[in-house]
Amino acid sequence: MTDDSAGGPVGDPAEQPLDRRAELSEFLRSRRARLTPEDVGLPRFGHRRRVPGLRREELSQLAGVSVAYYTRLEQGNGRNVSAEVLEAIARALRLSDAEYAHLVHLAKPKKHKARRAASAQKVRPGLRSLLHTLEGVPAYVVGRRSDILAWTRAAAAVFGDWGELPVRERNWARQVFLCEEYRELFVDWEGKAADVVSYLRMDAGCYADDPQLSALVGELSVKSDDFRRLWAAHDVKEKGFGSKILNHPLVGEMALSYETLRLPEDQDQALVVYHAEPESPSAEALRLVTGWGADATRAGEAARRA
């Protein structure tokens, strides 16, 4: 098992934090824009509409709040908004559970979050020991900002040896958007990239005052058109479970499922475990990859680029 005990990438301390009021405003606008009157059972008046989705008046009607009240909220002023109003707006906008949590984080931030954002991310010794026992299992611990904090040898064989990277580069967002090998590794790279941005958006809602997160978003926005496009969509989701098809340099395509286990004592960290269907071609491919290890994987990547 290898890991990073330095607490994750270090950003530019002079970087300005994300503007929480602007984030709240843009998020509500983006959710309103994706709904039409027909979607929510309202009549459409007129053939020409100046907005792509619901009007503020229509959303206010659905939520049962005044237009002036909702307008203040959409302008980023959520200081005195009640939980009941947020729930009503979430229902009117048909927000998912993750989107509703994001809305609450933006509108009613918790002060202790700012202190946590400034603290180093550390993996418990017991969790390190658990990773050490997961022989042949691709697993890793991911923290705030999509930082990769610890991983098994099998994960290094499948995804690349993060231990060879500088600490600040051990980050899913940087790897997916700035590393060409990851575009080749994930068959559905667009889906993986959208997932990573959605998780990062959730972090931004919780930790808008985190200068390292702001520095990361700024760097990726400058260096990647794809990141800038996906970030502007304001989509959010929690990492859960699913499957990915990988095009590994040694064995070709293999389908792996994953489960995310959020740590009860630190909700900012999660253990992500990958596995293949027993007795499937992907299981055999995974066995070969993890048996050969990260050194063979690097050789395969070099051969593919040649």
The domain segmentation of the chain, as residue ranges, is 2-13+123-305, 20-113
Q: What is the pLDDT of residues 60-93, one digit of tens each?
A: 999 999 999 999 999 998 778 999 999 999 999 9
C-alpha distances out from residue 44 to 32, 62, 91, 267, Å: 15, 14, 20, 43
Q: Which helix (H) or strand (E) holds 70?
A: helix 67-74
- How does DSSP assign 109-155, residue by residue? --HHHHHHHHSPP---HHHHHHHHH-TT--EEEE-GGGBEEEE-HHH
Comparing C-alpha atoms, which of 297, 276, 272 is closest to residue 285? 276
- The two three-digit tokens of residue 28, written as one number: 């509500």
Residue 2 has pLDDT above 60, yes or no: no
Q: What is the pLDDT of residues 255-302, one digit of tens each?
A: 999 999 999 888 899 999 999 999 999 999 999 999 886 565 554 455
What's the CA gap between 262 and 296, in Å, rounded? 32
Instruction: Point out which residues pair with 260 in neighbouring strands.
Output: 272
The domain made up of 20-113 has a fold known as 434 Repressor (Amino-terminal Domain) (1.10.260)
Q: Looking at residue 296, what is its pLDDT?
A: 54
* CATH code for the part of the protein at 2-13+123-305: 3.30.450.180
Confidence category of residue 109, pLDDT binned at 50, 70, 90: confident
Q: Count, in order, helices (H) and strands (E) of the chain.
A: 14, 6
pLDDT of residue 79: 77
User: In this structure, what token pair is assigned to residue 282?
Assistant: 């992907």
The residue type found at 34 is: R
Q: Is 136 exposed, middle or buried (0-12, 13-18, 19+ CB in 10 A)?
A: middle
pTM of structure: 0.85
212, with CB counted inside 10 A (0-12, 13-18, 19+), is: buried
User: Nearest-5° angle of CA 256, CA 246, CA 141?
Assistant: 60
Task: Kindly calculate the radius of gyration of the chain based on its CA atoms and give it in whole angstroms.
Answer: 21
- Asked if residues 151 and 2 have their Cβ atoms less than 8 Å apart, the reply is yes
Q: What percent of the chain lies above the pLDDT cut of 70?
A: 85
Please answer whether residues 139 and 53 qualify as being in contact, where contact means their C-beta atoms are separated by less than 8 angstroms. Answer: no
